[in-house]
């Protein structure tokens, strides 16, 4: 049994948005770490575009005036991380960035159900795969309906639930909380008060868990 298992079960909060390929990699890797180390995950869906609008507008500037060497490196790095994780990730050639609000609200609506975290994880992975594996536009109802139907869910019911005022407010509140806690993008992880940003910094999550910080 790991040293992590000897006291109270530690917890990692993961603020995520399905519109980011790096978040896809981080989502998959964090779940694998959980299987290895035995910690709990608190999934926190957010709308990363609202985070950028509030505290990180440099993202938009970099898209408007891309630096070619940096962009080439990012594509190469994404391919390397994809191979390292064993996850097929293709940068969407047709729709990027994508409006992920409905997908993230679907995650929240599912999380409120019995066995909600399992449902959230399955739906989020389906949305990631649809967008980064199949180049499907996850802002579209029919794409989200297909993801839901693949899970055996009532797609019409889920799409209606994600559109309710309570779920919309939950997504805003989660996004605002990330900003208030110093976050500026997705994925962002918290182990207690320790914030870790990005798929490539997940070893620091492991370190924070081991140290109990």
Q: List, for residues 137-195, the tens digit of each pLDDT value.
A: 999 999 999 999 999 999 999 999 999 999 999 999 999 999 999 999 999 999 999 99
Domains along the chain with CATH numbers: 3-211 (3.40.30.10)
Sequence-separated (6 or more) residues with CB below 8 Å from residue 43:
14, 16, 107, 111, 117, 120, 121, 124
> Would you state the pLDDT for residue 65?
86
pLDDT band at 75 (very low <50, low <70, confident <90, very high): confident
Encode pLDDT of 15-71 as tens digits: 999 999 999 999 999 999 999 999 999 999 999 999 999 998 888 777 878 788 988
Going by C-alpha positions, the residue among 59, 87, 46, 97 that lies closest to residue 199 is 87
> Would you state the pLDDT for residue 190?
98
> Would you state the pLDDT for residue 93?
83
| Structure-model confidence comparison of residues 33 and 75, the more confident one | 33
Answer yes or no: is pLDDT of 77 > 70.
yes
Average pLDDT value for residue range 88-105:
93
> Would you state the pLDDT for residue 5?
46
Residue 84's Cβ-count burial label (10 Å; 0-12, 13-18, 19+) is exposed
**Does the predicted TM-score (pTM) go above 0.85?**
yes
> Would you state the pLDDT for residue 3?
45
């Amino acid at each position: 049994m790991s040293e992590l298992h000897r006291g109270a079960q530690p917890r990692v909060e993961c603020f995520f948005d399905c519109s980011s390929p790096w978040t896809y990699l981080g989502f998959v890797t964090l779940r694998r770490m959980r299987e290895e180390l035995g910690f709990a995950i608190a999934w926190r869906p957010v709308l990363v575009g609202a985070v950028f609008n509030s505290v990180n507008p440099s993202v938009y500037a970099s898209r408007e005036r891309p630096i070619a060497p940096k962009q080439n490196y990012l594509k190469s790095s994404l391919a390397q991380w994809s191979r390292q994780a064993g996850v097929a990730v293709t940068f969407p050639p047709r729709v990027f960035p994508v409006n992920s609000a409905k997908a993230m609200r679907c995650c929240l609506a599912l999380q409120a159900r019995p066995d909600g975290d399992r449902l959230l994880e399955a739906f989020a992975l389906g949305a990631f795969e649809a967008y980064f594996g199949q180049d499907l536009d996850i802002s579209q109802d029919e794409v989200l309906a297909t993801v839901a139907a693949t899970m055996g869910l009532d797609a019409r019911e889920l799409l209606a639930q994600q559109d309710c005022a309570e779920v919309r407010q939950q997504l805003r509140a989660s996004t605002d909380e990330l900003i208030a806690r110093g976050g500026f993008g997705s994925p962002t992880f918290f182990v207690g008060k320790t914030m870790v940003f990005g798929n490539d910094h997940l070893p620091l999550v492991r370190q924070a868990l081991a140290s109990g910080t």
